[in-house]
Amino acid sequence: MSEMPLIAITGATGFVGRAIVKQARAEGYPVRAIVRDPRESRWLADEFGCELFHGNVLHAPALAGAFAGVKCVIHLVGIIIEKKENTFERAHTEATQNVIAEAKSAGVKRLIHMSALGTRADGRSRYHQTKWAAEEAVRKSGLAWTIFRPSLIYGPGNKSISVLSKIVKYSPIVPVLGNGESKIQPVGVDVVAQSFVTAIRHDETVQHTYDLCGPAAFTWNELYDKLLAAQGLRKPKIHLPLPIARVQAKVFEALLPNPPFTSDQLIMTGEDNTGNPEPAVAAFGLTLESFEQGLARS
């Protein structure tokens, strides 16, 4: 068997990164993880045999050499809450530009890029605006790119759904932002991992953008109903009107390093976040399970 090509992954320490590293290693790819804190990231070497490269995607010089000998870069770095120098503009747009520049100077041809469902030219949230600018940089890069746009991702190690499950479990009432009628289409993290890793060797996915979402869309109200049902609970939902939530978000942002929700998240929560999973199902041979089935396995 010919030697498997080296894959470099940014954001490998994250929730999605861990699942993609696991899948890539299971398929035999050697993986170089680009990490900003090698000591904290040691587990990637211990658990998965990754090579660690100490680099910071925010600073182009600190990426020099990161992609030497690499066949394909998987770029996952992204944030949902801004912290200090990690602004949306820097962590999404500038980081992607830095990764592209370093990939090109290292002679890498293939780039698989993590975006998000709802990313569009006229996005309202800064998260989506900066993800769009990053996508534009990828499309103009001249590299053989594939872009993925997942909906809310759930599975082992995820923060968002597990926090909501805890709120549902321990709170006497279930607080819902706004009227809870916007739709989401959550997707399992192993579906995301399978798609990214399969794309490495599927050249027909080059210059394609794929939604990654579950088989069914449902509202936030229905999501809470599903989380309650999974725990055999029945509790009343209380809707926090958006004008009040907006004020509260500003207060959280001013006072807390990890606000429970931000102004930007409120914009996104008020929008439908749904897509078409069929092109990805066909391209990557995916089997989609219902949210309830996936949740039971998480």
Ligand X SMILES: NC(=O)c1ccc[n+]([C@@H]2O[C@H](COP(=O)([O-])OP(=O)(O)OC[C@H]3O[C@@H](n4cnc5c(N)ncnc54)[C@H](OP(=O)(O)O)[C@@H]3O)[C@@H](O)[C@H]2O)c1
Record the tokens describing residue 90, joined without a space.
């820097």
Tokens at residue 228, please?
Answer: 């309650």
Residues 6+ apart with CB under 8 A from 97: 134, 137
133 near ligand X, rule: CB under 6 A: no
Binding mask 92-131 for ligand X (x = CB under 6 A): ----------------------x-x---------------
Q: Nearer Cβ to ligand X, position 218 or 235?
A: 218
Binding mask 178-207 for ligand X (x = CB under 6 A): ------------------------------
Considering the rule CB under 6 A, would residue 17 count as an interface residue with ligand X?
A: yes
Report in angstroms the alpha-carbon separations of 261 from 62, 127, 200, 241: 32, 13, 35, 14
Binding mask 152-181 for ligand X (x = CB under 6 A): xx------x---------------------
Q: What is the CA radius of gyration of the chain?
A: 19
User: 216: closest CA among 185, 238, 256?
Assistant: 185
Q: Using CB under 6 A, which of the segments 5-13, 21-29, 241-249, 254-262 binds ligand X?
A: 5-13
Residue closer to ligand X by CB (options 200, 264) is 264
Q: Residue 58 interacts with ligand X (CB under 6 A)?
A: yes
Of 132, 183, 165, which is closest to residue 296 (Cα–Cα)?
A: 165
What b/e sequence results for 59-68 when a residue is b if at least 16 CB atoms lie within 10 Å of its CB, and e otherwise?
Answer: ebebbeebbe
Compute the least distance from the CB of residue 52 to ligand X, in Å.
12
Residue 57 CB, nearest approach to ligand X (Å): 5
Task: Pick one of 21, 31, 44, 57: the residue that binds ligand X (CB under 6 A).
Answer: 57
Q: Which two tokens stand for residue 43?
A: 């587990």
At 247, the amino acid letter reads V
- Amino acid sitting at position 160: S
Which residues bind to ligand X, rule: CB under 6 A? 11-17, 36-37, 56-58, 76-79, 86, 91, 114, 116, 150, 152-153, 160
